[in-house]
Amino acid sequence: SHFLNEVRDMMLPSAMEKELVINTDFACVNLLVQTDQARLQHALLNIIMNAINFTDNGEIVIGYKAIYFKRRLGIEIFVRDTGRGMSEEFQQRMFEEFAREHPDSESDPQGTGLGMVIVKRMVEKLGGEVQFDSRRKKGSEFFIRLPLHQQYS
């Protein structure tokens, strides 16, 4: 939870600019995850920045829980927002290079379309996976699942 609190604290200024709240939901005791923290932090910062960019009001929740992952004890870190959600068409290609959601307006944030590609690659290098659930006008939830003890490249 200390690691996720640090990540949250890094993103608070960006969230506060939009009057958004970032809450935490730690459903279990502290878990010791042996991983490349820089890679995991980079992946989470990308996901949270997207949540901030595409949430106009409401909240973003960051949390984790213990899970079984690849038949052993693991961790699921999640980022849930009350944002715009993604179209089904975009969800099919979100992890492709240069994929971007069609903007709802000209004021929508413009990105390179590489953020989620980078997230997926980093998490896979850590021995994990990225999944998501998104509903248009309801928000999105991203899940990073990792083994507690892993070998990574």
Q: What is the pLDDT of residues 100-124, one digit of tens each?
A: 776 554 555 566 667 899 999 999 9
Within a domain: 83: yes
**Residue 99 contacts residue 113 (beta carbons within 8 Å):** yes
Within a domain: 26: yes
Within a domain: 59: yes
Within a domain: 85: yes
The whole model's pTM is what? Answer: 0.87
Range of the domain at 24: 2-147
Within a domain: 29: yes
Number of domains present in the structure of the chain: 1
Q: What is the pLDDT of residues 72-86, one digit of tens each?
A: 889 999 999 999 999
Helix or strand or coil: residue 152?
coil
CATH of residue 22: 3.30.565.10
The DSSP secondary-structure symbol of 53 reads H
Look at residues 117, 97, 108 and name the one whose alpha carbon lies nearest to residue 43.
Answer: 117
CA distance readout (Å), 57 to 17, 54, 71, 81, 139:
11, 9, 39, 10, 11
Strand residue runs (E) in 6-71: 21-26, 59-69
Determine the pLDDT at residue 103: 57
